Chain A
Amino acid sequence: MTATEFQPAKTEVRQPILQARNLVKTFGRVVGLDGVSLDLYPGEVLAIIGDNGAGKSTLIKCLTGAEVPDSGELKVSGQTVHFKRPQDARVHGIETVYQNLAVSPALDVASNLFLGREERVPGPLGKIFRVLDTKGMRRKAKEELTRLGISTLQDVTVPVENLSGGQRQAVAVARAAAFGSKVVVLDEPTAALGVRESNQVLQLVRDLRDRGLPVILISHNMPHVFDVADRIHIQRLGKCAATITPQSHSMTDAVAIMTGAATA
C-alpha cells in the first residue's frame, strides 16, 4: 500500500501551498470543525463540499483568517502561520471571495479592488496628507482585469451596485486573484447566478488555475464542482469524510459520502 503511494515521484516533490492539520473550532457547545486536515497543491482546483452545517464555511473561515481555530496547524508554503484576522491571511497571499460577496456596493470597481490596501500618491502629498492615488489605482485595476481576462468589466469607475450579479462576482474574484496572491478561496461563487453567468465564473476559475493559481471552491452545486474541480474534499459532521477526484467517483458517490450513506 505504501509502495503504491510513493510510486509517482512527482507528487512527492510537489509541496502543498496551503496545509491544514487537525483544525478544531467550537462555538460554545457546537463543534464546527473536529480535526480537519487539508492540502492544496499549486495549480489545482480543490472543491469543498458538504451538507449544511458540515463545517464548510467554518473551515474556509479558519483558512482565511475570518475565524481563529481553537487548535490545529496552518502552513503556507511550508511555513507555519497564525491568522488572527483576514488581513493576516492576505499578507500570506490567501484571498477570499465570501458568499455574501464582501464588496462595497456604493464604491466603484477600482475602489473595491483596492479596498483595504489603498495606494497613496508618491511624495510628501501621499506621505503627510495621505492622498490616495486614485488615477494610479484605476489604471492598475484596468491592467489587472485585462491580465485576468475579465472582459465584462470595462469601466472601473462604475459603482459596483450598478453591475449584474455575474459582474459583481467577477469584481470579487478579480480582487481575490489580483496583486500577486497565492491562493484564491471562493465560497459559493455561483450560488446566486444564472446559467450563463455561472459558466462565466467557472471559466474564470479555470483560467485562474491555468495561470497556476490554486483555487479552493466551496459549492453546493455538484455539476459545477465536478466540472472544474481536480480534487474534492468532502466535509461531514465537522470532519473530512473523504477526498476524492471527479475521475474516481461519480456525483452519486459524492452525495452518498456527504450524507453518510457510504464511505469512500
Chain B
Amino acid sequence: MTQQQTAGPPAAGHADPAEEFLDRQTPLSRIRNILHRYPALSPAIVLLVAVVVFGLLNERFLRVENLSLITQQVSVVGTLAVAQTLIILTAGIDLSVGAVMILSSMVVAQLAVGSGTPAPLALLLGLVVGLAAGALNGFLVTRFKLPPFIVTLGTLNIFIAVTLLYSGGSTVRGSSMPGLLTWMGSTFPVGPVRISTGVVMMLLLYIAVAFILGKTAWGRHVYAVGDDKEAARLAGIPVNRVLMSVYLAAGAVLAVGAWIQIGRTNAASPNAGVDLNLDSITAVVIGGTSLFGGRGSIWGSLLGALIVGVFRNGLSLAGLDVLYQTLAVGVLIILAVSIDQWIRKVKS
C-alpha cells in the first residue's frame, strides 16, 4: 500500500489518503468534532433549550415585552463581552473591563454636565479614556511581559480609584445630561417589539468584530497569537503589535459600552458595574471561547450573554430567589468550561 502511494501520483492511487486523514470515528467523537469546528453551536443549543424550558415554566417569559427587556438587560454585558472575547482569544483575560467602562462613562457625564463640554466631544473624550486604559493594559502586557490577569487586576483597582477620585463618588443623573448621552437608552418599535438603541449598537459591534475576526488577516493573527504565541512569532506575526492592538480595540469597545451603560441606567454612577467584569467573563466562557486562547467565536459570546440574561430573567419569573440565579450561573460556568476541556481533547 505504501508502495502504491509513493509510486503513483495522489490522484491515481485509489487507496484513499483521506481515510487515514479522517480517522475512525465514533458517534461521540463526531459530535465533539462538530462542536469543535463550530464553537458557537453548544451555547446556541443551551440558549434554545433554556428559552423553551422557561417558556413552558411561565407563559409570561415568551411575551415580546419580556424578550425585549432581556435584550436591554443584556446590552451592557454583551458589549463588555465583545472586548473580553478579543482579549480572551489572545489567551489573556481582562478583569478591568467594567472599571474602564465606568471610568469612561463618568468622564463623559462629568464633562458634559459639570464643565458643559458639547456632548459629541464628551463622547469622543470618553473614547480617548477607553483607548488610554487599553493602551496601559496592552503596554504592561507586551513590554513588561506581565500576565494579563495580574496587569488587569492591578489596573482594575487603579481605575476604580481614579473613577472615585475624579467623580468624588457622586452620581450624575440622566435627566441632567444632553440627549445624545442617554440616546442609547431610548427605544423604538419594531413591529410589536421595542428595541433600544443600545441593543442595536451592541449588535453593530458584534457584526463589525465578527467581520474583522473572520475575514481579515488581523483577525486570523489574533487567533494565531492566542493559539500559540511562539508559533505565531516564528510564522512572522508581530505578536506584540497584535496584542497591543487587541487591548486598544477592547478599550474602544468599552468606551462604546460606557455610552450604552449611561443610556441603559439613565445615569452615570461610579459605584455601578463592578460585578460586570465577572459577568463579561462568564458570557465569554459560556459562549464557548476557550480561556486558553485561540479558540472561540464572537457570536458565542453574544449567545453566552443572552444565556445569562435568559437564566436570570427566567428564574426570577419562575419565582425563584436571586440566590438561585447566581447558583445557576455558577453551574453554567463550570459546565461550559468542562465542555470546552472535553472538546479540546479532539484526537491528535
Q: Which residues of A contact B (CB under 8 A)?
A: 66, 85-87, 90, 96, 98, 100-107, 111, 115-118, 120, 129-132, 134, 146, 149, 151-155, 158-159, 161-164, 167, 196, 203
Contacts and interface: CB of A to CB of B under 8 A. Distances in A.
Contact of A146 (B10, B221, B347, B348): B10
Contact of A102 (B37, B220, B231, B295): B231
Nearest to B344: A161
A106 B227 contact: yes
Given A115-B235, A120-B217, A162-B33, A167 B21 contact: yes
Contacts, number: 102
A155 B21 contact: yes
A161 B295 CA distance: 12
B228 A104 contact: yes
Given A107-B223, A151-B17, A102 B217 contact: no
A116 B348 contact: no
A32 B9 CA distance: 44
Contacts of A132: 215-217, 220
Contacts of A106: 223, 227, 294-295
B152 to A, nearest CB: 24
A86 B235 contact: yes
B236 A117 contact: yes
22 contacts: A96-B234, A98-B234, A100-B231, A102-B235, A104-B223, A104-B227, A104-B232, A105-B227, A115-B220, A116-B221, A116-B235, A117-B236, A118-B217, A120-B217, A129-B215, A129-B216, A149-B9, A153-B21, A154-B21, A155-B18, A162-B347, A203-B6
Contacts of B20: 152, 164
A131 B228 CA distance: 23
A47 B235 CA distance: 23
A163 B346 CA distance: 10
Contact of A159 (B37, B216, B237): B37
B220 A118 contact: yes
Interface in B233-247: 233-237
Interface of B: 2, 5-6, 9-10, 13, 17-18, 20-21, 33, 36-37, 211, 215-218, 220-221, 223-224, 227-228, 230-237, 294-295, 346-348
- The interface centre, meaning the residue of B21, B218, B347 with most chain A CB atoms within 10 A of its CB, is B21
B149 to A, nearest CB: 21
Contact of A86 (B9, B220, B236, B294): B236
A104 B231 contact: yes
A131 B216 contact: yes
A115 B216 contact: no
Contact of A107 (B217, B218, B220): B220
A149 B13 CA distance: 13
A85 B241 CA distance: 14
B31 to A, nearest CB: 15
A56 to B, nearest CB: 17
Given A100-B230, A104-B228, A116-B235, 17 more contacts: A98-B234, A100-B231, A104-B232, A107-B220, A107-B224, A115-B220, A115-B236, A116-B232, A116-B236, A120-B217, A132-B215, A151-B10, A154-B21, A155-B21, A161-B346, A162-B347, A196-B2
